Chain A
Amino acid sequence: MPAGRVTPRWHTAGMVVMAPAVAHRGGTESRAGRDDVLALLRNGSGQRPRFDPGLAGGLRAWLEDAACEVVTARGDGAPVLFLGARQLLGEPGNGVGEAFSWPMVTACLVHALFRQIVLTGSVGDPLSDGTGALRVDPGRAGLVRHIEALPAPEREALAGVLAGHVAHLTALTPHFAPGWLPRTDDRVAIPLAGGRVVLHGVFDLLVGAPVAATASQCALGLTSGGPWERAWRVLHYLALLETLRSGTPPFRLALIHSASGRTAVEDVREEHLRAVVAHLVARLSGIAGAHG
């Protein structure tokens, strides 16, 4: 067995690699209201799909092989490698010098307002509420200062943009009963290769409680801009991380594009997870190759 490999290559390398491309195939897309989104999420939810208990272990073994290649290539003294959707799936914008770009500022405020809508069901003044929410996170202090220092015309423009996002969010975000256990910003971090490589991500919204062997959670993703296809791939990536964390993926995913009001719902299938793993393995091999 090659150094740094935890399972023989033939155990995993022979797995069928599914194309990770069009991610929302089979999904139900609509411009409907929040009740319709909720109905799509609930439809048939009494018959929760069961996933092979060995699925998570198989996916993890595949990833472990690739992660061990990375660790071997980087050497023993290398620090822990944290990889999120941005590094693994690519993310437009937000590069060097764009720390407080318009899309980034909008995304942070929209995300804060989305959390408020999920918890309270309403938003007052979007810009005021958004900055008020960001203020309770010391990590966003610089962003708050940036927003507060914007010239009046830019603040007005930002407020107008936010009002559009909020209108879509309030129209589309389902009112989940508290008994569904809705929670926002649920972070997932999966250590591989003994913790030397960590795959991480954050669910915008999860509902339902994890149950062994039965998919019982729904995940709702929010994108305030950027490519629709990429937002789906991020949701599939998060579904994979949840599979590795709790043993089963969410059984259904929903995506809301707050700028356009576009929304879609789809079931999670094993091929989605395998496609994401195939992509991650290729990405990790690329990282290993870059260090080799």
Chain B
Amino acid sequence: MAEGPGPARLTDLLVAPAPAINPEAWRAATAWSAEALSGLAAGGAGGGPRRLTEYQVRRALSSGDPWPETPFAWSARTTRRALGLHAVRLLVAGRVRNPTDGVRAALAEATRGAGDGRRPRCAMDRWLSGLPPAGRAAVGAEAVTWSTRLWCALDWEALDGPVVIGRDHWWDGPRSSLLALRSRAEVRTASAHLVVLSGSRRSSVRSELSVVALVEALRSREGYVPGRIVGWWPDSGHLVRVEVEPAVLSEGVAAVETTLRGRQGRAAA
């Protein structure tokens, strides 16, 4: 499952064609998954809509509790991905020449409204607009490091075809609004989804990535097989790949079920 370091290998995994899958088996697995998730949504305790992200799935699989003790707060750490992805988008589009300039442009755009009296577009922009220059510099430094690591990890010219950078996908249960799942990937090519991972290497990472495959399968047209899911730890250079097959969808459903059970346990406590 886990593979050693190597930027060239990372690029190769994003461009290599995915293995062929039996269409009938895939359609059956997709239908079963949608049905199973509908059942989980309808039968779950705790009540209320459930919008699960990869963060909650990861926490549930590693600690049993999908919800953190402390509430979310904006910080250099929680803004670095959004700013870093903005920077990488600008780099790939050829609008800036390096990650530092990309992050400067991202910060300028996020805080532009504050200068001319307009309301910030989102909560993150509002938080950034309220920071003193030193705080903004600290946020920028964190984002520069994040984006530089991603920028250096891939041979971007070798990624032929359209590349989508940092667009998260949501799947909403079709039969009720009680369950929605998010698929996060930093780079998407025609044949793969690259997920930047943090924290320690863990045995549950395959299940985490299976949820990405599950969301991609469910939100796509019937019969569409999403490409492989590639997880990458910038801290160590290690890769993990999940080749999408019917069994991956059931693993993703199991991960969602574990997360929902963790939520129920928290609610019961």
Contact = CB atoms under 8 A, between A and B. Distances in A.
Interface in B1-37: 5-8
Interface residues of B, number: 39
Chief secondary structure at chain B's binding surface: helix
A210 B236 CA distance: 13
A174 to B, nearest CB: 14
A129 interface: yes
A198 B140 CA distance: 28
Contacts of B138: 112, 115-116, 132-134, 136-137
B202 A118 contact: no
A119 B76 CA distance: 14
A91 interface: no
Contacts of A129: 132-134, 137
B233 to A, nearest CB: 8
Interface stretch (A27-35, A147-155, A187-195): A187-195
A112 B138 CA distance: 7
Counting chain A residues whose Cβ lies within 8 A of the other chain, the interface size class is 35 or more
B141 A188 contact: no
Given A133-B137, A181-B99, A190 B236 contact: yes
A263 interface: no
A167 interface: no
B132 A132 contact: yes
Contact of B135 (A136, A182, A190, A245): A136
Interface of A: 80, 112, 115-116, 118-120, 124, 128-130, 132-138, 178-179, 181-191, 195, 198, 200, 209-210, 212, 244-247
11 contacts: A112-B138, A120-B133, A132-B138, A135-B135, A179-B98, A181-B99, A184-B141, A189-B236, A190-B236, A210-B152, A247-B6
Given A80-B200, A129-B133, A178-B101, 8 more contacts: A115-B137, A119-B144, A133-B135, A136-B75, A179-B98, A182-B100, A195-B202, A200-B235
